[in-house]
Structures are given as structure tokens and as C-alpha cells.
């Protein structure tokens, strides 16, 4: 018995890297998988079906069940078509992994509006559109698991990635709010913040000397955990994966400090004077 026996799953950006590793693992654990990938280059341009086709063929070769989708996540029509493919082919959708992504790295002062918007369209808007389309089906079913993809860049920031960081931080906020809104319908919403050597990251300095210690295969089990009944009580969580290390990201507020005089109104000078105690966690 696999952890996802009889489940219908959708993995966006499943043609390479983390998406491919997760699609294969989901299939080996008994799930039917819609393998979605536009087949574009790292910056989101272009379109080729071979990446998604290859993953579908690989799943079918070991006896798994898979169908292909080439639709973009960045439009309402595309997102609805991805979810519709799962429902029309397999009858339902139990798990959505929002994994599709592109990179257009530039420092803030050199980034064009087009470079900013292209990354937000795929990562943040794409996650919203696919989540909304899947949640409508899952609400009717009374169950489902949605797994989004955030990032260390979104939680902590990263040089040269203002567009990507903003999108991934937005996905954190979306995950938290969606988990609150959808819990009453039996739908769980979580996120994974992975660090892995993939097509998107392989030429970054931190990955130059890394081989298998930060591979996509380290990330896929986190997706499987969140997709399965093992995590039936888990929602609104961001699980971070960096090779063999797992952790959970949390937004933490400091204890704060009350001003007890002058009607509680702080002056700027007083804030400066007490800033250390105001900010202490």
C-alpha cells in the first residue's frame, strides 16, 4: 500500500528538478499524476513538450498512472485547464503541488518592470490561480491538500532577487490565509521552502561545488508527507528542506514594550532610546 493509493495529484513545473522528483515519488506511492510543464527556458520564455512527456513516460514505464498538461499557470484559463485535466481524466483532485517557477534575477536598481512582473505572474499569481481552481473542487469533495512553494529568499531575502523574494514572501502570506479559510472544508494548505540544486539554481555560486547533498530527491519526501494522511493535522506550515536538514519557518513577533506615560504615544527619540528592548524576542 502506497501513501497516496487512489489519490489524484497535480504537480506544476514537473518536467525537471524538484517537480519531476515529486511527480515520480507520488506515482510510486500509488497516485495518479497530472504532470504539468510548459517546457520553457529558465526565464520562462519558449515552450516545448518534451520535458513533461519524458516524466509521463517514465511514470508509465514503471506501471504508474500519469497524464500530461502543457498549460501555463500564469493565466486563469491555464490554471483552470490544469485542474480540469485532473478531474476529466481521473475524476477528482486530491493534491495540488504549486511548483512551477521562473527566474529573472537582477538587482533592484537594474530590474525592469517586465522582469519583475514575469516572475510574480508565474510564482505568486500562478499559485493563487491554481490554488483557487483546485480549492473549488476540493471544497465540493470535502478534502484535499494544497502544497505551495516558498523559499528562503522569500522568508529572509536574497541579493539580486527582489522579484523572486517578493513573490515567495507573498506565497507565504497566501498559504497562511488559505489555510485559515479552507480548513473548514477539510482542505489543508502548506508550503515547502526548498534549497536544492536544480536547473534554476545550478549556476548560482552556492551550488557550484554541490553534487548530491542538496538534490531534489531530498525535497520530494516533504511533499509526500504533506500530501498524505501522515500530515492530516498539519496546515498553515512552511517546511524548509536543505538536504538532510529540515526545519519550519515561523514569523516571530518580539515581546514588545509598553509606554506607560504620555497617553502611550511614543516619540521618535523614545523609540530610538528603547529600540533594543522593543525588538528583543
The set of catalytic residues is 164
The grid coordinates of residue 275 equal 529600540
- With CA atoms as reference, report the closest residue to 115 among 75, 81, 77, 161: 161
- Cα separation, 279 vs 216, in Å, equals 37
Q: How far is CA 60 from CA 66, 80, 170, in A?
A: 7, 25, 36
In the beta sheet, which residues pair with residue 35? Answer: 11, 68
Measured CA to CA in angstroms, residue 52 lies from 21, 61, 71, 119 at distances of 12, 14, 11, 21
- Tell me how far apart the alpha carbons of residues 260 and 65 are, in angstroms, rounded to a whole number: 65
The whole-angstrom separation of Cα 33 and Cα 58 is 12
DSSP label at 13? Answer: T
Query: Do 175 and 127 meet the contact criterion of CB atoms below 8 Å apart?
Result: no
Dmax over CA atoms of the chain, in Å, equals: 74
Q: Give the whole-angstrom CA distance, residue 281 versus residue 279.
A: 6
Angstrom CA distances, 78 to 22, 55, 176, stand at 21, 20, 24
d(C-alpha 75, C-alpha 232), whole Å: 30
- Provide the grid cell at 5: 493509493
Amino acid at each position: 500500500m502506497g501513501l497516496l493509493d487512489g489519490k489524484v495529484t497535480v504537480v506544476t513545473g514537473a518536467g525537471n528538478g524538484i517537480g519531476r522528483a515529486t511527480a515520480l515519488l507520488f506515482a510510486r506511492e500509488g497516485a495518479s499524476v497530472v504532470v504539468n510543464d510548459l517546457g520553457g527556458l529558465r526565464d520562462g520564455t519558449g515552450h516545448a513538450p518534451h520535458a513533461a512527456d519524458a516524466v509521463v513516460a517514465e511514470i508509465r514505464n514503471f506501471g504508474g498512472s500519469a497524464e500530461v498538461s502543457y498549460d501555463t499557470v500564469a493565466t486563469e484559463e491555464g490554471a483552470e485547464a490544469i485542474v480540469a485535466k485532473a478531474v476529466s481524466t481521473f475524476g477528482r483532485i486530491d493534491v495540488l503541488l504549486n511548483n512551477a517557477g521562473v527566474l529573472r534575477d537582477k538587482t533592484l536598481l537594474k530590474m525592469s518592470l517586465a522582469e519583475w512582473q514575469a516572475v510574480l505572474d508565474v510564482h505568486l499569481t500562478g499559485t493563487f490561480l491554481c490554488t483557487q481552481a483546485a480549492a473549488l473542487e476540493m471544497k465540493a469533495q470535502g478534502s484535499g491538500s494544497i502544497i505551495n512553494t516558498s523559499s528562503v529568499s522569500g522568508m529572509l531575502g536574497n541579493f539580486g532577487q527582489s522579484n523572486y523574494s517578493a513573490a515567495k514572501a507573498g506565497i507565504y502570506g497566501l498559504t497562511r490565509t488559505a489555510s485559515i479559510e479552507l480548513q473548514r472544508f477539510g482542505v489543508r494548505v502548506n508550503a515547502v521552502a526548498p534549497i536544492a540544486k536544480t536547473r534554476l539554481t545550478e549556476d548560482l555560486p552556492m551550488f557550484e561545488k554541490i553534487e548530491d547533498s542538496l538534490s531534489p530527491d531530498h525535497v520530494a519526501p516533504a511533499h509526500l508527507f504533506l500530501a498524505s494522511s501522515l500530515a492530516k493535522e498539519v496546515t498553515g506550515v512552511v517546511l524548509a528542506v536543505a538536504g538532510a536538514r529540515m526545519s519550519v519557518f515561523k514569523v516571530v513577533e518580539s515581546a514588545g514594550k509598553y509606554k506607560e506615560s504620555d497617553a502611550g504615544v511614543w516619540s521618535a527619540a523614545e523609540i530610538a532610546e528603547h529600540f533594543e528592548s522593543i525588538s528583543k524576542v
